[in-house]
């Protein structure tokens, strides 16, 4: 999926075919089309969604949102509306609104839009005005710092660039570490079973069970989830989300079935990259699959929670791959994107927030003392 600005003329064919199939192209033009900003969503080169945005002084109206019937239900509309909200916020617009067809009102309602006034008729179609206050709307991404605990032999460790021969033990009791994070107000935890990732099956489930049972942290767990049984173990042991990487690459249909079965909100897609190519198997195998192609197919399938780790940066404390992450966010504006790898200080965290990340996973910078617990509090 790729969202980009297009011309008014580019919108007309799809606008007509979806919304007014019996009208001419001229009939579906808007009187002030020339003054609007027009956006298109492309999937594998095909224009699948269009929308037009008209900016006012404090508010903006979008009109003629249309998605090809075969592409509906895949998140394109939600993604382009999130993009419009981002555009409006940069222009200091406080309110985004539309006149929604009554058949689409429930769609906007789920995105946080509020009905205003009464239904009205226009051209034989029933409409209702719906508004989204941008200063508090639900699509705004709340940035979260997410400490990482990597586990080998039941101990809290960190690797350098995913190299199992370069591991350092920081604490033999991961629960103690988790409680320290919770004590300062941390809400999320990223727990990685490195033994499981290497073996191809969940190994350190007891660590997960202990942390989930003795803290209130919202924990995502990854490493070694290869079967439905592994996934059941992870959720039964208390994980709020399951982090999955290799299966999504090697068995996409199985992965998509899990997304459908458990819900996108329960799945955290891990995109581990090396030179913009996807890596799997605990980073031991680099594929030829581009991270952008990988994410495009997953976003189209309804995946919304994604984190990306640049292996070349991980554990080096030399700064994250901000440029890469910015490219991903710009191409897939509707996702909850969490950055991982390379964070060296609190300024790196601020930079990731600035480019639009939903959160940042931080490991070695905390354990080596580069980021203090007090500094973390500024993002809580």
Distance, in Å, from the CA atom of 310 to the CA atom of 353, rounded to the nearest integer, reads 17
Model pTM score: 0.65
What digits encode the pLDDT tens for the residues 64-98? 999 999 998 888 898 899 889 878 877 889 999 99
Nearest residue to 341 (alpha-carbon basis) of 356, 355, 321? 321
Pairing of strands 359-362, 336-340: parallel
> Which residue's structure tokens are 């064919």?
13
Phi first, then psi: give them for residue 372, nearest 5 degrees.
-85, 165
- Is 3.40.228.10 the CATH classification of the domain at 144-377? no
Give the angle 38-45-291 at the CA atoms, nearest 5°. Answer: 105
Q: What is the DSSP secondary-structure string of 212-224?
A: HHH---EEEEESS
* pLDDT for position 1: 67
Q: Cα dist. 173→33, 154, 368 in Å?
A: 62, 8, 17
CATH architecture of structural domain 2-133: 3-Layer(aba) Sandwich (3.40)
Q: Indicate which residue of 43, 150, 193, 230 is catalytic.
A: 150
* pLDDT for position 139: 42
Residues of each domain in the chain carrying CATH 3.20.20.70: 144-377
* pLDDT for position 212: 93
Nearest residue to 131 (alpha-carbon basis) of 114, 110, 108? 114
Question: Is residue 118 annotated as a catalytic residue, yes or no?
Answer: no
Question: Is residue 272 annotated as a catalytic residue, yes or no?
Answer: yes
Q: Which helix (H) or strand (E) element contains residue 50? A: strand 46-55
* pLDDT for position 135: 63
Residues of each domain in the chain carrying CATH 3.40.630.30: 2-133
Q: Indicate which residue of 193, 195, 220, 272 is catalytic.
A: 272
Distance, in Å, from the CA atom of 96 to the CA atom of 115, rounded to the nearest integer, reads 12
Positions in the chain whose pLDDT score sits under 70: 1, 135-141, 162, 281-284
Joined tokens for residue 156: 């809290």
What digits encode the pLDDT tens for the residues 29-58? 998 999 999 999 998 889 999 999 999 989
Residue 14 near residue 66 (C-beta atoms within 8 A): yes
Q: What is the CB neighbour count within 10 angstroms for residue 121?
A: 8
């Amino acid at each position: 999926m790729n969202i980009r600005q297009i011309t008014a003329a580019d919108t007309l064919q799809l606008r007509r075919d979806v919304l007014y199939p019996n009208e001419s192209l001229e009939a579906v033009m808007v009187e002030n089309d020339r003054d609007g900003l027009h956006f298109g969503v492309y999937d594998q080169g095909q224009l699948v969604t269009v929308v037009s945005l008209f900016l006012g002084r404090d508010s903006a109206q979008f009109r003629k949102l249309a998605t090809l019937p075969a592409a509906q239900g895949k998140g394109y509309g939600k993604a382009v509306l999130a993009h419009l909200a981002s555009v409006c916020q940069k222009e200091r617009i406080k309110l985004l609104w539309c006149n929604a067809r009554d058949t689409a009102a429930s769609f906007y309602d789920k995105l946080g839009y509020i009905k205003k006034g009464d239904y009205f008729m226009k051209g034989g179609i029933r409409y209702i005005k719906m508004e989204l206050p941008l200063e508090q709307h639900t699509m705004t991404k709340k940035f979260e710092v997410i400490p990482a605990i990597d586990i080998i032999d039941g101990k809290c460790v960190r690797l350098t660039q995913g190299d199992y021969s370069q591991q350092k033990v920081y604490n033999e009791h991961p629960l103690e570490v988790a409680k320290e994070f919770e004590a300062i107000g941390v809400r999320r935890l990223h727990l990685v079973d490195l033994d499981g990732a290497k073996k191809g099956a969940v190994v350190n489930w007891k660590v997960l069970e202990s942390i989930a049972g003795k803290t209130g942290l919202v924990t995502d767990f990854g490493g070694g989830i290869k079967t439905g049984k592994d996934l059941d173990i992870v959720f039964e042991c208390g994980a709020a989300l399951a982090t999955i990487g290799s299966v999504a690459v090697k068995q996409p249909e199985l992965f998509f079935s899990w997304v459908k079965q458990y819900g996108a909100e329960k799945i955290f897609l891990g995109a581990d990259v090396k030179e913009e190519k996807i890596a799997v198997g605990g980073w031991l195998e680099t594929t030829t699959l581009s991270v952008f192609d990988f994410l495009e197919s997953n976003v189209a399938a309804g995946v919304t929670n994604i984190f990306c780790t640049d292996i070349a940066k991980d554990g080096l404390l030399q700064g994250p791959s901000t440029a890469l992450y910015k490219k991903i966010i710009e191409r897939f504006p509707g996702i909850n994107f969490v950055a991982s790898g390379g964070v060296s200080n609190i300024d790196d965290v601020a930079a990731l927030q600035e480019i639009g990340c939903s959160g940042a996973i931080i490991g070695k910078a905390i354990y080596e003392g580069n980021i203090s617990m007090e500094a973390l509090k500024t993002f809580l």
